[in-house]
Amino acid sequence: MKIAFFDSGIGGLSVLHHAMKILPHEEFIFFADEDNVPYGTKSPEEVLACVDEAFKFLIAQNVGAIVVACNTATSVAVQTMREKYSLPIIGMEPALKVALDFFPNKKVLVAATAITVNGKKIHRLIKNLRAENLTELKALPRLVEFAEQLEFNSAAVEKYLRTELAAYDWKNFSSLVLGCTHFNYFKDTFKKILPPHMKILDGNAGTVNELIRRANLKSERTEKIFPVEFFYSGRKVTDAAELLRLKKFLRRLEKMYTL
Ligand code: DGL
């Protein structure tokens, strides 16, 4: 069974990267909507239209499950897609519950895109966890642009994050939750800026575990390893320079993986 990972851009590679470690014998395709990235600064209607197009393409590839490896697309469109299609559709959820389970009385900063922090989905999650007084939300849209340009730990990235995170009194916080898959590329700079007690949590393991459960994947080991197929907005990536670009992202994610 082919499993699709879908994102507005290359952020979702972080979820795929984790899945490739946990499920090395599954067949994956990755769809980055490079013609339409970023989603986070668009209107919800525009994002829904982009997701709808991407799903039409993925369904035509006969995939058996789709991981929406994008918090923004999940926030806007996952419900509609589940109503439309019957295959397992797995979305992203910011790891707020994980943070609060570990540190029930400390605050959590959830960093995401503007659509995600303003969307109903995150506010419903906060309400369900009764975490209204323990959660702060912050949009960091420029990180999406930096990531797409392969700009990971430049002086400009550090300056941007130092400015955006300057106002927080970190002694009241336990964790930074990465609520956008593009933010996984910047774990080293977050670590550099934040005090050492701050945990940095992503939703990648939670999403892959949910994929295993929902798609009923067995950890059967076949000898065959399938190469991942990559698509940019419906075009198969075959160009050597583009494949090298994707390799650079995966190399960066490998570096960030154990941070
Ligand atoms: N990677 C996406 C997310 O997880 C969105 C980035 C964007 O396109 O703005 O929210």
Q: How do the domains of the chain map onto residue ranges?
A: 2-91+205-256, 96-203
pLDDT at site 56: 98
Does residue 187 have its Cβ closer than 6 Å to ligand 1?
no
pLDDT at site 181: 98
User: What is the residue-level pLDDT of the chain in tens, covering all 259 positions?
Assistant: 999 999 999 999 999 999 999 998 899 999 999 999 999 999 999 999 999 999 999 999 999 999 999 999 999 999 999 999 999 999 999 999 999 999 999 999 999 999 999 999 999 999 999 999 999 999 999 999 999 999 999 999 999 999 999 999 999 999 999 999 999 999 999 999 999 999 999 999 999 999 999 999 976 666 667 899 999 999 999 999 999 999 999 999 999 998 8
pLDDT at site 221: 61
CATH topology of domain 96-203: Rossmann fold (3.40.50)
The domains spanning 2-91+205-256 and 96-203 adopt the same CATH topology: yes
pLDDT at site 259: 84
- Pick from 14, 34, 113, 178 the residue to mutate for probing ligand 1's pocket: most ligand atoms within 8 Å of its CB: 113
pLDDT at site 13: 98
Instruction: Give backbone dihedrals phi and psi of 193, rounded to 5 degrees, phi first.
Output: -85, -40
Count the Cβ atoms, other than its own, within 10 Å of residue 77: 25
pLDDT at site 127: 98
Give 115 Cα–ligand 1 centroid separation in angstroms: 9
pLDDT at site 226: 83
pTM for this structure?
Answer: 0.96
Closest approach atom of ligand 1 to CA 12: 1
> Known catalytic residue: 50?
no
Does residue 174 have its Cβ closer than 6 Å to ligand 1?
no
CATH topology of domain 2-91+205-256: Rossmann fold (3.40.50)
